[in-house]
Amino acid sequence: MNSYEFIKNEAGKTLIACTYRQNGKSYLGILDDVQGSFSLLDIPFTDIDNIASWNDYLYVEGASAVHPSSVAKVTLDGRKVVDFKICWSSSSDCLKYESYFSQPELIEFPTVVPGQNAYAYYYPPTNPLYQASQEEKPPLLLKSHGGPTAETRGILNLSIQFWTSRGWAFVDVNYGGSTGYGREFRERLLDRWGIVDVDDCCSCAKFLLENGKADKERLCITGGSAGGYTTLAALAFRDTFKAGASLYGVADLNLLKAETHKFESHYLDKLVGDDKAFFDRSPINFVDKFSCPIILFQGLEDKVVPPDQARKIYKALKEKGLPVALVEYEGEQHGFRKAENIKFTIEQQMVFFARLIGRFNVADPITPIKVDNFD
């Protein structure tokens, strides 16, 4: 990751081209450290990962709500952009479907702590060929990102567009503890993972309900890894959501602490706290509190969140009599890489939600897997 480059202006003076993030958005500019001045550069990217300079040009790796991850060549005249050209795109074909793209709206919503707000990207249902009735509110899928101290970004994500193009509202939450919104915001999660993230996801769903953006009876939650943990914790310890999907999610914090890889072996110490907190915030210890359908997806070669976690939660929910399904993938690790598995995962989530709580048939020809205690 490279966030700055030394460049020379027309007079041969050395300047610094740099990028930074503020309130969930990336900015690119020119810094003159001698004069103490900074000039913003106007480019279409709202999210920037890397910058490099070569032969008087800047090359920027970034994305936006309508641009997939791309590399752009930026031509400068002094401190102004005179040309912006995409020279490589991760998905150049997708732009022909732009009329289907749901544009993210950055929302700020109140949390359970008075005076504290959190953030999310809300994507309304969007399809130029269909119009929903005014009487019906859309089903909502809320996503909790991984990390947990990572950040979700408002850039083109075709997995999100899959949902919105089929009539779903989608919200991608940056709960307290996410990066990108300052130190105080990030440190909200210290000793409170499993509390702040869960509360903020529930608060976001409540905020959207109050603003008429979703159907109360069709609120669903999904997440992978740490987001899968937030999903399971929200379903176990709160009653906001009607169904959920956990992708290689954490069910047992003590098991995660004991079996996870060396690089993150002490990551949890600051996020959870003492032994009692590890027990009290592990959904697997409170299966009696689960009360709605759940579908689980797990890679069998996962070294970060071993398969035992998903199997343990699946067995407990099956014995309790709740509708539950477990999908295991040979050869997959922490995060699915094979296209057919990524496709299968997203399709089975949708058909699972549609059958169990959605009250509708999916438009795509998807064959549902067997759901225990339902089929």
Question: Per this entry, what is the length of the chain?
Answer: 375
The whole-number pLDDT of residue 309 equals 86
Closest CA relative to residue 169, chosen from 217, 118, 220, 133:
220
Bond into 293 cis (ω within 30): no
DSSP-derived letter for residue 335 is B
Spatial neighbors of 336 by CB under 8 A, at least 6 apart, are 247, 297, 299, 329, 342, 345
Fold designation for 96-358: Rossmann fold (3.40.50)
The whole-number pLDDT of residue 304 equals 82
% the chain with pLDDT above 90: 76
The whole-number pLDDT of residue 155 equals 94
Tell me the pLDDT tens digit for each residue of 177-226. Answer: 999 899 999 999 999 999 999 999 999 999 999 999 999 999 999 999 99
Residue ranges of the alpha helices (H) in the chain? 158-164, 183-186, 196-210, 226-237, 253-259, 267-271, 275-280, 308-320, 339-353
d(CA 141, CA 9): 48
Angle between helix 196-210 and helix 226-237 axes, rounded to 10 deg:
70
The whole-number pLDDT of residue 194 equals 96
Tell me the pLDDT tens digit for each residue of 317-366. Answer: 999 999 999 999 999 999 899 999 999 999 999 999 999 998 888 989 99
Tell me the pLDDT tens digit for each residue of 49-72. Answer: 999 998 778 999 999 999 999 999
Average pLDDT over residues 17-36: 90
The whole-number pLDDT of residue 315 equals 92
Average pLDDT over residues 69-96: 90
Q: Tell me if 49 sits within 8 A of 2, measured CB to CB.
A: no
Average pLDDT over residues 91-115: 93
Domain segments of the chain as ranges:
3-89, 96-358
